[in-house]
Amino acid sequence: MTRRMGSLLRTFMVSVVLLVGCSHGDTEKTELTNKGKEIVYATSKDINDMNPHFYSGSMPAQGMVYESLVENTEDGIKPLLAESWEVSEDGKVYTFHLRKNVTFHDGELFNAEAVKRNIEAVQSNASKHSWIKLSTKIVACNVLDEYTVELVLSEPYYPTLVELSMTRPYVFISPKNFVNGGTKEGVSGYNGTGPYKLTEHKVDQYAVFEANENYWGGAPKVKKITAKVLPAGETTFLALQKGEVNFVFTDDRGANSLDVAAMNQFVESGEHQTIRSQPMNTGIIVANSSKTESPVYEKAVREAFWHAIDRETISKQIFEGTEQPADTLFSSNVHYANVKLEKRGYDLEKAKKILEEAGWGIGNTGEFRSKNGKPLAMKLYYDVNSSTQKMQAELIQYTVKRIGVQLEMIGEESSSIANRRSTGDYDLLFNQTWGLAYDPQSTIAAFTSKSSYYHTTRGLAQADELYKKIEEVMVSTNEEHRKSLYADILTIVHEEAVFIPITNGRVTILAPKNLQGISFKQTQFELPFERMYFE
Amino acid sequence: MGSYIIKRFMLSIPLVLIVSFVTFSFIHLSPMDPAEVVLHSQDIPTITDELLVQTRANLGMDQPFLTRYLNWVASCLQLDLGDSYITGKPVWSMLGPAFFHTVKLTLVSTFAIVSLSIVLGVACALNAGKWVDRSVRGVSFFLTSMPSYWLAALLIWYFSVKLDLLPTSGMESYKSYVLPVVVITISYAGIYFRIIRSSMLSNMNEDYVLYARACGLPEKKITMHILRNSLQVAISVFCMAIPIILGSTVVVENIFAWPGLGTLSVKSILSRDFPIIQAYVLVLAVAFILFNTVSDIINAALKPKIRDGL
């Protein structure tokens, strides 16, 4: 028995050694990559509920299946499901002429009645959509004829077309999928008019999208797209190496499951390429101007903090040059944001001078500043799941210490940080702007919202003036007046240093080298997969 | 024995109630407003006061704490664990499949752990102090001290990427089981085989072994007797291995993208999906209590003296 057991163990160990020794350098690629015809992208989360009138679904997935009336492009608003439109002189009535011969994935005809029913389904759940100001302005949706529909607003609202172009909620699902006449109690299927159909979904495993051969814009060339759930970045890396997935892109929170070095490694191997969009958003540190007991309440402290951030180093060392240093809340490619504002560069001497002038002197310890016995100490909250935010926070903690600011870093979950933002329980926290298409109107509208940036802006001396201008800009029908209002708003928040910009974020894609036609939309939340093709 | 089993099961009921109350209280003591959590979980970009009031009412948060707890217990008894904050789907419809997937992984892993523990335990005991014993213990010490996260990544890299023998992740075929099961087995078999080994060694010194040898019983038969007696001790330990593995698959499931309880719990904790967290803790607590009860019953069956204590 003993001898047999010993020999069994020896055999086992020799087998393991042999198995290990049999390593061959050439990795056999799986069938998936060899086919070279389909995209399998890694996603850290399941696609979730694809009801387009809710917000829990994956935006890239919803973007493949559903479409809106109009599309937001680099050259402005363009037709999509609506071929053309007119706006009444008083700015309150939008008349849309719909594209003919468009069908939903289940064969239902897309017409004015379908538009009316979808818009009404969204409006019947209005409280969920109050973030999108248009939902508070729509009074009626009338069918004029089979392919003409009009949207009546309570008052003129200039971002109407921009908000109608967003990934959700004003997109269209087959009325056959409605439950109890609407969508707020859920939907029975996910039939949109988009270039891809959702054909299979295994929760927390994968979702398969197949090309819609009857797509009004022509069938997409990539016939199959699979979203594979891979929660761990390490597994994504290994799955890419093996060829089980061949496409990775920045998620809707601006985070990459792979860091820049890992992506570069794939590019160097010659089988992949990385493509980066134009600046889409701005990574910012939000300062709480209404927290009177904190030093952050003072403009001088915020200004000095701004000067003490070494954006160049963050850009070069943490983002390896993939994100550029930002000097203002919005990059100049954001509509209405090309405003001349004073640049506050990395200048520790200037930061010290500002603090000295404001009465924050170095105490007996010789390290940190204080004023009237109150230490210059603040807390910075960062997303515990974002490795880059932690690294930025560490660098900032180091540089602000050199001007005598004591900064405590606290890592929390993103939902907890969102909760702090809405309750005002913070000094400083990381955030990002909503991104192209949504900016500047959505981020600016959030300045007044209690669940967003109300506490950030409420403590400003000009807060009431700021809120009045925000209200005015949303209903303004005069382009020049609107431009000047936006310039005033951006100048106020810039001068008060409540939104401290760090870098401009981009969407990054890692894809097979033979995948062509890769481009971006005017939003960081979805990609135009239908334009891609394999060479 | 029948009355012992009934009494033992009756005793677990108050324990389940205590666990449920503690779970419910802890989650509701959280400083976060559940209504706000729901709205953030649903990615509602801007939350208005009206929306908060409406959501609080929908969740029944306007009722006293005790009423909410009793309502929750009452619905749990009807197998209704509420609805997920994120998806709005019944908790059972999400927890059920995840539980099933983890159970599959747990059962295969438990089988592997038990088999390997017995083989290694017996081999080491029979060769106590020799090179087989020393090397098995050395290797197992090395392997069990490796973080399973790292071990998993290493195995994926070698067996999936380099040798292309197995998938990196997912739950598509029987091949998908191999690496997660190996990682779980390495983590636990290294601990459990020592129990068999020491139990075997202590049995080998018992008088009945000496007597059997004196009677001239073949060595093979004596070993089988020792093994049978040693396994009796290990059965209750192995019983508890099932809920322990069930509750500790978080890392393995996450790295192997296994859609089980571990993945679901991490996802729910990160998004503060309280109904799922509550149900997850409750299910695990029930599993621990149940297996503990079963293990006690097995022990009582083996050692009748234990029955008298209850």
ipTM value: 0.80
Domain of B115, in residue numbers: 94-270
The pLDDT of residue A82: 97
pLDDT tens-digit readout, B96-146? 999 999 999 999 999 999 999 999 999 999 998 899 999 999 999 998 888
CATH of A30-42+194-277+507-534, one of 3.40.190.10, 3.40.718.10, 3.40.50.720, 3.90.1640.10: 3.40.190.10
Q: Is residue B128 part of a domain?
A: yes
Burial of B228 (0-12, 13-18, 19+ CB in 10 A): exposed
Whether A9 sits inside 8 A of B132 (CB atoms) is: yes
Give the Cα separation of A104 and A194 in Å (integer).
8
Which residues of chain A make contact with B88, given a CB cutoff of 8 A? 49, 56, 186
- Partner-chain residue, chosen from A2, A54, A204, that has the shortest CB–CB distance to B263: A204
- Domain A281-505: state its class: alpha beta
CB–CB of B165/B159 below 8 Å?
Answer: yes
Residue with tokens 């069930």: B246
What residue segments make up the domains of chain A, in order of their start? Answer: 30-42+194-277+507-534, 67-187, 281-505
- Taking Cα atoms as reference points, which of A109, A166, A108, A106 lies closest to residue A134? A166
Give the Cα separation of B87 and B193 in Å (integer).
43
The pLDDT of residue A27: 38
Whether A419 sits inside 8 A of B263 (CB atoms) is: no
Whether B271 sits inside 8 A of A415 (CB atoms) is: yes
3 state DSSP class of A513: coil
Count Cβ atoms below 10 Å from residue A219 Cβ, excluding itself: 12
DSSP state of B124: H
Whether A203 sits inside 8 A of B40 (CB atoms) is: no
Whether A232 sits inside 8 A of B257 (CB atoms) is: yes
Integer angstrom CA distances of residue A49 from A181, A224, A265, A483: 18, 20, 35, 39
Q: Is residue B29 part of a domain?
A: no
In A, minimum Cα distance to B47 occurs at: A451
Give the Cα separation of B159 and B163 in Å (integer).
5
3 state DSSP class of A531: helix
* Residue A253 CB contacts under 8 Å (≥ 6 apart), including other chains: A383, A386, A414
The pLDDT of residue A253: 54
Which residues of chain A make contact with B270, given a CB cutoff of 8 A? 385, 413, 415
Give the Cα separation of A521 and A309 in Å (integer).
31
CATH number at residue B128: 1.10.3720.10
Whether B153 sits inside 8 A of A230 (CB atoms) is: no
Give the Cα separation of A454 and A458 in Å (integer).
6
- Taking Cα atoms as reference points, which of A196, A216, A91 lies closest to residue A154? A91
Q: Is residue B129 part of a domain?
A: yes
Residue with tokens 């201008």: A469
**DSSP annotation string for A27-38:** PPPPHHHHH-SE
* Residue A53 CB contacts under 8 Å (≥ 6 apart), including other chains: A118, A121, A122, A125, A168, A169, A173, A183, A184
- Partner-chain residue, chosen from A28, A235, A446, that has the shortest CB–CB distance to B164: A28
- Partner-chain residue, chosen from A27, A54, A203, that has the shortest CB–CB distance to B162: A27
Domains A30-42+194-277+507-534 and A67-187 share a fold: yes
Integer angstrom CA distances of residue A485 from A49, A495, B253: 39, 15, 52
DSSP state of A498: -
Domain count along chain B: 1
Q: Is residue B293 part of a domain?
A: no
Which residues of chain A make contact with B41, given a CB cutoff of 8 A? 56, 415
CA angle A143, A148, A152 (to 5 degrees): 60
CA distance A376 to chain B (A): 27
Whether B259 sits inside 8 A of A205 (CB atoms) is: yes
Give the Cα separation of B68 and B76 in Å (integer).
12
- Partner-chain residue, chosen from A230, A242, A452, that has the shortest CB–CB distance to B161: A242
Whether B168 sits inside 8 A of A239 (CB atoms) is: yes
* pLDDT tens for each residue of chain A, 535 residues long: 444 444 444 444 334 433 433 333 333 344 444 456 899 999 888 898 899 998 888 899 999 999 999 998 888 899 999 999 999 999 999 999 999 999 999 999 999 999 999 999 999 988 778 778 899 899 999 999 999 999 999 999 888 999 999 999 999 999 999 999 999 888 999 999 999 999 999 999 999 999 999 999 999 999 999 999 998 888 999 999 999 999 998 765 555 667 777 888 899 988 899 998 888 889 999 999 999 989 999 999 999 999 999 999 999 988 888 889 999 999 888 889 999 999 999 999 999 999 999 999 987 667 899 999 899 999 999 987 677 888 999 999 999 999 999 999 998 877 678 878 888 889 999 998 988 878 898 889 889 887 789 999 999 999 999 999 998 998 888 889 999 999 999 999 999 999 999 999 888 899 999 999 999 988 888 899 999 999 8
CB–CB of A28/B164 below 8 Å?
Answer: yes
Q: Is residue B197 part of a domain?
A: yes
The pLDDT of residue A524: 81
Give the Cα separation of A310 and A395 in Å (integer).
8
The pLDDT of residue A9: 41
- Partner-chain residue, chosen from B39, B44, B255, that has the shortest CB–CB distance to A235: B255
The pLDDT of residue B19: 86
Whether A48 sits inside 8 A of B45 (CB atoms) is: no
- Partner-chain residue, chosen from A128, A419, A442, that has the shortest CB–CB distance to B44: A128
pLDDT tens-digit readout, B232-271? 778 878 888 888 888 888 889 999 999 999 989 888 887 7
Q: Is residue B223 part of a domain?
A: yes
Exposure class string for A147-171: b at 16+ Cβ within 10 A, else e: bbbbbebeebbbbbbbbbbbbbbbb
CA atoms within 13 A on the CB side of B277: 19
Whether B33 sits inside 8 A of A228 (CB atoms) is: no
Low-confidence residues in chain B, pLDDT < 70: 30-32, 40-47, 305-310
CATH topology of domain A67-187: D-Maltodextrin-Binding Protein; domain 2 (3.40.190)
CA distance A484 to chain B (A): 26
State the Cα torsion A204-A205-A208-A209 to the nearest 10°. Answer: 30
* Residue A81 CB contacts under 8 Å (≥ 6 apart), including other chains: A67, A68, A69, A70, A98, A99, A102, A110, A115, A172, A193
CA distance B308 to chain A (A): 40
Cα A467 versus chain centre, distance:
25
For the stretch B234-237, contacts whose Cβ atoms lie closer than 8 Å and that sit 24 or more positions apart, written own/partner, are B234/B117, B234/B192, B234/B195, B234/B196, B234/B199, B235/B295, B235/B298, B235/B302, B236/B295, B236/B296, B236/B298, B236/B299, B237/B192, B237/B195, B237/B295
